[in-house]
Structure 1
């Protein structure tokens, strides 16, 4: 029997290979890097946020216009199922107060080792340093250390990632080998920081986190933490609103989200004495130095009228100079357009070829949504690829 072929050994590809092998198909898995799961391990450096426990509608809404396609896949293998899967691989799970779910060891390597051992037990054959170079009719071509290689698979699952982690294998180069078979939306950075041209006085705050703020961009509002960096503003809070910012929405910060404008006005209306306006703000509002510096950076000269000053503190406009480079992004938008896929994630123009993970044109914020969708689409593609291959084999036997 021809092998099922999985190209790309990130979370989506590993899950697809798992399901194909569990269905009884021989599986060959190829990756261009010297080892599997490199991006998975990188995600684990920040704790490996596997998924998030929250209201189902709110969870699904994180995928925006991709929700109609992804929703059945996430309901098939969503947060509860991912927790059960990790526990079955011997990994204890920790659920944080925000609903985010992590391995108890807060890293990826034990989970990856257990998963690879399972794939070995299922007979999955690994091919490393195999870079996919395109199709030759139904065959898949690879550049390898041993020279060009050709694989004639029974079915293929593509899971080669987006374009934001070239050193880990997600370089987006696969898009140049698709030819005119499929429509591909241009890659764009997602979950990314934004550049700011700072005045010299901000240099002393580089690396400083801004805690307890709210960010507004277009119709989105979120509370989170950001970091002032030499290049601009980075961190989880800015990542959550990176899509509307990338699309041109202005950014405003609420520096005191727990206080109303009236409460801030009341505090600022107290006697100032001989104190400078900056010292008056700092003392009456307990405003940390970094927040006060931002006020000076983007709203100088500050109004002395308490009501006007309160309005600025609640909605401070931040002048951005566009997103940071693609290589620094957590993930990417763009990839295979969703209309090019049927409901099983098979390419409409290439029967027997399925796609999963960040190759597809969807995006979501960090916080468990990204990894959940990669695992869910990998599982969905693997299951449907196995069904397709078995149906083709049965038809050929008649």
Structure 2
């Protein structure tokens, strides 16, 4: 059996105001072709299908068009879970209809863990794969809050709740495998942050809980899983060096920090219950490039790209010694008549030498929700002693708002 693991599509996401529907559409077309070419039997999508809990019509159209195409292909099974960006109720709404096409959607943690354990069969009706389709586990799904509990106590409960949830579904899966009486693979999904996970500046990865809480160690996952398909981190990577516990990563670069990284999917092939994994490289559908340096270095790079006829979205970071007050005008002139498009300009020298403070050069695109709150604390000269508790309280509120938004859809 061949399984393809992907995640973090973030359909509908923009990059500094630039819509990316053509990229998303090109990726999904390529993915549908790859499923045919590689003769994939099952597709796992490990969360963050959409970038927001209320995706626009264009993003939904891309999603459902892709599902229709895959349903008509040789791929026998599709399993989709919600990530922290997705609305569980939105993803779940058409699940009964999609199930008729052998597309299984799990939007949120279910009251009965057995609903997350899927036994998938071949065309002859013989079970061939068991999937523990665990979605993003929200705080309220895995712990009961108590007044006055410490941050350490909260972390302990979160980790224990996640561990217990996986333990329960894996035990149910093992029981089903025993009842079937055949050595078929057990695969689990998840959308979370593992200990030691790698991120990249500007990749848009949001902390799932409070601060750095609930970074799950590899030892918390059950030993009977033959493959663990994770989402949330956008850099393709193994978990603690394991060949069979992986993040597929986002298929498109979510920011300029990922511009030079090769994106890939995980193609998992089973020989009995033994999994072997190879990476399936994703083509570049829209080239991104970060150009950094003084004016001479920047103009030289622009000239090189222009001469090559490249269609590139650019981030320009000027950090030369000379103060250039008309940087944007120079850049617009330099790219005139080319296929280059500048999405973002950072003039660090103006910020440092003229304004004397970096904040004035920042925009909201540069800042996370936590950054904005920390700026407010600085502005109001809040003491260092008060900050940790205020930051923890603020992060809890933000997480609660995100989860309420998802639940309301």
Place the TM-score, normalised by the shorter chain, in its bin: under 0.3
Structure of higher CA gyration radius: 1
Report the TM-score when normalising by structure 1: 0.24
